[in-house]
A and B are shown apart, each in its own frame.
Chain A
Amino acid sequence: MTVHNLYIFDRNGSCLHYGEWNRKKQAGISKEEVRQEAQLIQLKDGFLTFQTSKYKLHYYETATGIKIIMNTDLGVPNAKDILHQIYSTLYVEYIVKNPLCVLGEQLSSDLFSTRLDLYIRALPFFSPRAA
């Protein structure tokens, strides 16, 4: 069971953060298209997750338009609480409350990146696969 990657988009669709842990294959489409899919998905109110035969995509949107997307493998059950935790304990604490971080641009906070990495690695269903 593992987490593959994580995207954070703002309300205009610009990618604020991207992190990957276990990725076998690069996306056949650019970040632009991931963003477009995120906007298409946004139309569906209450959308939580979709899965294919190989991976599961979890989606969480806040009332301010911040979208957090996480790709994991199929063994992971509903990750809505985890994405909510990422938003409230990591994004809000380290980005929103940081006076030097300009919202709407690529997140440049090292503290945020390291904390996010630690958090993902500490998740019960994360296990680094042998490459």
Chain B
Amino acid sequence: MAIFSVYVVNKAGGLIYQYDNYVPRAEAEKTFSYPLDLVLKIHDEKVVVSFGQRDGIRVGHALLSINGVDVNGKFTADGKEIIEYLKDSTNYPVSIRFGRARLSSNEKLMLASMFHSLFAIGSQLSPEVGSSGIEMLETDMFKLHCFQTLTGIKFIVLADPRQSGIDALLRKIYEIYSDFALKNPFYSLEMPIRCELFDQNLKGALEIAEKAGNFGPGS
């Protein structure tokens, strides 16, 4: 899946739509014996690795499950505190799965507003006159493309760095937004988008984009 997710941000910077494509995340499951040679810390209600990177387990990875049972924040499924559980040598050997933590909806909302501000700062920082906001942001793992409409709505697409044709995709998403969200009499402007036809057509457009097709007239 080369297109990871789509976000739509309204004029005020609030997230009004988000869609995630399934992405196989890097996860590692290993069996550990006492004492644990990783240093763990609590960050944002999750247990993350702070030191001791090895074997596919990297700093920043969150603890996802213990002995096959998914954890609940910083507690195990039965309510025991994870850090205390791992300090007790009688619980070993233990099989722990680490991986990148999935973003919660709150975190996504926060990141959308953060991007909204960065977008504005991007146009202020410009050494040339008449610059737009951030159109493309690149990291080693993904590329983020942003298209701002004349009314201030931002369509943001996160994709593989090698994926092409995202500009056409952004325009297509804008078209789908105006057809299935704006023309929907029950949809209020700037509010979260809950239109089934919008979802369906968006998924269809993403599939076409991934197959590197061009959007024909009337598609």
Contacts and interface: CB of A to CB of B under 8 A. Distances in A.
Contacts, number: 82
9 contacts: A24-B127, A24-B128, A28-B125, A29-B124, A51-B136, A51-B137, A52-B123, A52-B131, A57-B122
Nearest to A4: B127
A55 B131 contact: yes
Chain B binding surface SS class: loop
Contacts of B136: 50-51
B134 A55 contact: no
Interface in A32-68: 33-34, 37, 40-41, 44-55, 57
Interface in B49-78: 60
Interface of A: 4-5, 20, 22-25, 27-29, 33-34, 37, 40-41, 44-55, 57, 71, 73
B129 interface: yes
Interface residues of B, number: 24
B130 interface: yes
A71 B125 contact: yes
Contacts of A4: 127-128
A116 B6 CA distance: 41
B118 interface: yes
Interface stretch (B138-146, B168-176, B205-213): B138-146
A4 B125 CA distance: 11
Contacts of B138: 47-50
B14 interface: no
Contacts of B127: 4-5, 20, 22-25, 27, 55, 71
